[in-house]
Amino acid sequence: MTNSAPLAGKRALVTGAARGIGAAIALKLAEDGADVAITFEKSADKASELVAEMQAFGRNAVAIQADAASPQASTNAVEQTVSSLGGLDILVNNAGVLFPGSFAEQPLEEIDLQLNINVRGVFVTTQAALKHIPDGGRIVTVGSNAGLSVPFPGIAVYAATKSAMESFTRGLARELGPREITVNLVRPGPIDTDMNPADGPLAPSILPSLAIARYGKAREVAEAVAFLAGPGAAYVTGSGILVDGGIAA
């Protein structure tokens, strides 16, 4: 292991990683030396492009089609990762959805999808992964600044799902501490992605609340995830990093 490849020899799974934050995380982990599996639901072309980028670093990389709302698909994705990479050391729970709008008028379908992907999907994937992650492994979940405070209206259900990740992370860290498996969160604020573009409908509500008056970049979130996944964060667990431009300050 060298400083230029702190994750050499490690095997990682990043869920929901064909584009946006997930793709940036997967690419960063590959740059740092890990072999990486990603899951995607519909963006097959983007997933294939990302796999090629990771392979260009000399890594083993694979894309697995999986609906994050499906418990069976999530479990199968973990098993396919282990089969393809020969094991699993790092799990990054990134898959998530956001449906902004008034809670009073929100369709049940949108509520269910946010719960099933953002909460149940994390539970199912993590439980499946723990059958394989060795002592000293890493679990990192992509939460949100909205899991701590909700600075604008229209995201009540989303915020609730991300708040659930706060307690889950702390509770699981307690369980896995004896095995030195660390469990942490990265809490992005407004990041310029397809889900929340810098010129999207939420931007006028968000920008005045930022200390750094711009949307973040996916790579900036990936850097925080890579730190928590790496050897330098071996004594960091049950915790979280805000990557939010100061919106929670």
Q: What is the DSSP letter of 232?
A: G
How far separated are the first and last CA of the chain, in Å rounded? 37
Alpha-carbon separation of residue 14 from 58, 101, 126, 148, 240 (angstroms): 18, 28, 11, 23, 18
Question: Does 158 qualify as catalytic in the annotation?
Answer: yes
Question: 10 Å Cβ neighbour count for 53?
Answer: 16
Rounded CA-CA distance 183/141 in Å is 8
Outline where 133-216 has alpha helix (H).
156-176, 203-206
Of 158, 168, 215, 227, the active-site residue reads 158
Bridge partners (DSSP) listed for residue 14: 38, 92
Label the pairing between strands 90-93 and 61-65.
unpaired
Contacts of 213 (CB under 8 A, 6+ apart): 207, 245
CA 184 to chain centre: 11
Active site residue ranges = 158
